[in-house]
Amino acid sequence: MRDVAIIGTGMMKWGELWEKSLRDLAVEAALLCFEDAGTDRIDAMTVGSMSSGLFNGQEHLASLVPDYLGRPLTPSIRVESACASGGLAVRTAFVEVASGMADYVLAVGVEKMNDVSGDVATYALATAADQDNEAFHGVTFPGLYAMIARAHMEKYGTTRDQLAEVAVKNHRNGSLNPKAQFPMAITRDTVLNSQLIADPLRLFDCSPVTDGAAAVLLTTVEEAKKLNKQPLVVITGVGHATDTIALSQRKDLTKLEAVQAAAQRALQMAGKTIKDMNFAEVHDCFTIAEICAMEAMGVVEPGQGGPATIDGMTALDGAFPINPSGGLKSKGHPVGATGVAQICECVSQLRGTSDKRQIKNARAAITQNMGGSGGSSVSHVLEIR
Amino acid sequence: MRDVAIIGTGMMKWGELWEKSLRDLAVEAALLCFEDAGTDRIDAMTVGSMSSGLFNGQEHLASLVPDYLGRPLTPSIRVESACASGGLAVRTAFVEVASGMADYVLAVGVEKMNDVSGDVATYALATAADQDNEAFHGVTFPGLYAMIARAHMEKYGTTRDQLAEVAVKNHRNGSLNPKAQFPMAITRDTVLNSQLIADPLRLFDCSPVTDGAAAVLLTTVEEAKKLNKQPLVVITGVGHATDTIALSQRKDLTKLEAVQAAAQRALQMAGKTIKDMNFAEVHDCFTIAEICAMEAMGVVEPGQGGPATIDGMTALDGAFPINPSGGLKSKGHPVGATGVAQICECVSQLRGTSDKRQIKNARAAITQNMGGSGGSSVSHVLEIR
């Protein structure tokens, strides 16, 4: 397989983007990406979107996006793995380039979630859970992650303050990110006094409903060198795994096995360990998710995610920064776009262009993009060459 | 890239399968495929489904299918390109094997369409069209293909009888296929006297709403030889292209440019021309679709699809048989499964195991699986080695 580089990234400021349609978002992210890359060559593309059918009455984005981008006949693949659709779009684009099927491949992630009412959005998101055994009975994602949180508290003594600190840290980072949907710093009290959603999770433990898109342009390292891209950001590892879609089938609610396997596979492919990574973008759809994910990825031992967060290990200036972008919590979570945006943030950090939220000496990063309550996970290892 | 063989296929009899759920269908097709292959090894999988979100309130099939198949941690990709989702699942599995990402990859296509009422199914299918410029205004697929049919009649003098003969031929083939949803022979009068749906298309010009799944198992030619698979069916070409999602943006309604490009790309990769192919499985979602597709693929010159069909060229014993399986028209059209089932039929024919519908001297075949009104198309070239 050929070595693959990322030569461009693009995303707009995320939020409630009433003036932009689904197709507008996808095309805008692609154009921003071309501008950043200094080339608009694409031989193929992938589109990550979780449920444009339920959110927008629009499937067939594999045709729609290249069409509205003005690229007739482009081979185009829409991939879906719930909230990991964006990561999967990047992974699929990676394989297209690595295999030699195409030389320049654009990966776009997009979700336009605010065109439906809150209950329809909650239903659409719940289709990432097991419809027959979870969603049909009325459980939605706040409830599923609340069960994970309760199990984690019970097993490891994780506290409400530790959960809250994930949101505080991510909002602090997001306040330095001009593209974040909610770029305001908050305090622990903001979280603890917010509306109870699904005990023990409160409003500020939850990522928001967001409209947004993100895009990355991949090509071979050889081509990237011809374009004189410096510093050169290379995808040295991709990892991907699935787990039971329903929580009831897990041996241990606190252990995200797909997250562990995907991260291990990506690191193994890169010939690295988690200790070689300088920071991570992690799927904090709920505060407990970041804690479980960092444990599954081996950043800390199981049960140590809460204490490490309180101790500042994962802060921008900590030993292992997590979610310098602000994460899903502050940056927003247009589900199909999230995994692509994680890559955009890593590229920005590795290039040293992250301004006030720049991590010092960032040379290697790992991403973790989760589907459902851990039913799937995609990780990428990115390094400077 | 590595050479890729197909070592197993599986599908159940299609129809209104009230006793089987979405997940049952996917798992059953996979188990039938393992039985046929003589191995149940899989390192990764792909799942093609157009709109399980709208039909079944269930996204995240990338997690659901390997989960219910009892394969935890399997990397799994759900792909969607409307009614070409199945072909895209096979193409994506091909690239996984060819690239070296995985050695044994299962591609499953599935759609469970009868659990919703007819109007909901029609809406769900219409999300493959341009929501803003077509579906929102009330046009659905029979109407879109009726416009293509009218344009074809106007430009080339294609007749109602020629359209009807596509259905007659495909039902005759389907009557020999024990897995077809509607395995009954019909006459031209059956078509011409059936209910008018969207002028000039009548009920028997349209493929049905179907529950069903199909699966194929791919591995390297090297591995397949170790398993002593004979005759060995090899995928020698894959082709994939997109076009404008809306008909209004096409220069010529009768010309399916994505179909042409995808077929040309697959043939070019195989180092073949259409004349080297012995037969084809083609996407006859409506009778006019088969005529336009065979013209776009170069089986006949533009405008000659109707006359060639009436003349018997595409019959089982004709010079170039099309849809020996019965096609979408008779076999049924569970949209995400169709492209995978096309591959199953080609493998059966190439192996010489198609019983009463066996084509003589079948050594090379091409498939054509269409999304929407030609917004995307996927072709595969299969050959005996």
How confident is the model over B106-162, as pLDDT tens digits? 999 999 999 999 999 999 999 999 999 999 999 999 999 999 999 999 999 999 999
What's the pLDDT at A97?
98
Q: Rounded to an integer, what distance in angstroms lies between the CA atom of residue A78 and that of residue B82?
A: 10
Domain end position, chosen among B191, B226, B261: B226
Query: Coil, strand, or helix at residue A105?
Result: strand
Active site residue A333: yes
Q: Indicate whether A202 and A67 sit together in one domain.
A: no
Active site residue B171: no
Domain end position, chosen among B176, B195, B226: B226
Q: Indicate whether A80 and A217 sit together in one domain.
A: yes
Q: Rounded to an integer, what distance in angstroms lies between the CA atom of residue A30 and that of residue A347?
A: 16
Q: Which member of B75, B95, B249 has the closest CB to residue A240?
A: B75
Q: Indicate whether B191 and B216 sit together in one domain.
A: no
Cβ atoms < 10 Å from Cβ of A193: 11
C-beta of residue A330 within 8 angstroms of C-beta of residue A177 = yes
Q: Is the pTM of this model over 0.90?
A: yes
Which residue range is the domain that position B16 belongs to? 4-117+210-226
Quote the number of domains for chain B: 2
Query: Coil, strand, or helix at residue A367?
Result: strand
What's the pLDDT at A229?
84
Q: Indicate whether B46 and B190 sit together in one domain.
A: no
Q: Which of B171, B240, B283, B333 is catalytic?
A: B333
End-to-end Cα spacing for chain A: 18
B11 band by pLDDT with thresholds 50, 70 and 90: very high
Complete DSSP assignment for B247-283 = GGG-S-TT--HHHHHHHHHHHHHHT--GGG-SEEEE-
Taking contacts as CB-CB distances below 8 angstroms, the residues of chain A near B82 are 59-60, 62-63
In a mutational test of the B interface, the residue from A1, A50, A58, A60 whose CB has the highest number of chain B CBs within 10 Å is: A60
Please compute the mean of the pLDDT values over residues B201-214 and round it to a whole number. 98
Q: Which member of B53, B72, B81 has the closest CB to residue A60?
A: B81
CATH number at residue A292: 3.40.47.10
Q: Which residue of B has its CA nearest to A70?
A: B244
Shortest CA gap A264–chain B (Å): 12
For residue A384, what is the DSSP state?
E
Cβ atoms < 10 Å from Cβ of B315: 19
Q: Indicate whether A195 and A289 sit together in one domain.
A: yes
Q: Indicate whether B272 and B194 sit together in one domain.
A: yes
Taking contacts as CB-CB distances below 8 angstroms, the residues of chain B near A240 are 75-77
What's the pLDDT at B229?
84
Please compute the mean of the pLDDT values over residues B236-259 and round it to a whole number. 98
Q: Indicate whether A214 and A335 sit together in one domain.
A: no
Whether residue B75 has a cis bond before it, omega within 30° of 0: no
Q: Indicate whether B186 and B255 sit together in one domain.
A: yes
Q: Which member of B99, B242, B245 has the closest CB to residue A74?
A: B242
Could you give the angle at which helices B160-174 and B287-296 cross, rounded to 10 degrees?
Answer: 90
Q: Indicate whether B43 and B143 sit together in one domain.
A: no
Please compute the mean of the pLDDT values over residues B211-234 and round it to a whole number. 96
Alpha-carbon Rg for chain B in angstroms: 19
* CB-CB under 8 Å, A67 with B249: yes
What's the pLDDT at B237?
98
Q: Where do runs of H (alpha helix) occur along chain B?
A: 22-37, 52-56, 61-68, 85-99, 118-126, 141-156, 160-174, 188-192, 221-226, 257-270, 287-296, 305-310, 327-331, 335-351
C-beta of residue A37 within 8 angstroms of C-beta of residue A344 = no
Cα–Cα–Cα angle for A272, B77, A141, rounded to 5 degrees: 90
C-beta of residue B64 within 8 angstroms of C-beta of residue B76 = no
Q: Indicate whether A155 and A46 sit together in one domain.
A: no
**Residues B92-111: pLDDT tens digits?**
999 999 999 999 999 999 99
Q: Indicate whether A153 and A113 sit together in one domain.
A: no
Domain end position, chosen among A226, A257, A277: A226
Size of the A and B interface in Cβ pairs below 8 Å: 207
**Residues B30-70: pLDDT tens digits?**
999 999 999 999 999 999 999 999 999 999 999 999 999 99
Q: Is A178 exposed, middle or buried (0-12, 13-18, 19+ CB in 10 A)?
A: exposed
Q: Indicate whether B303 and B379 sit together in one domain.
A: yes
Shortest CA gap A275–chain B (Å): 23
Taking contacts as CB-CB distances below 8 angstroms, the residues of chain B near A131 are 56-58
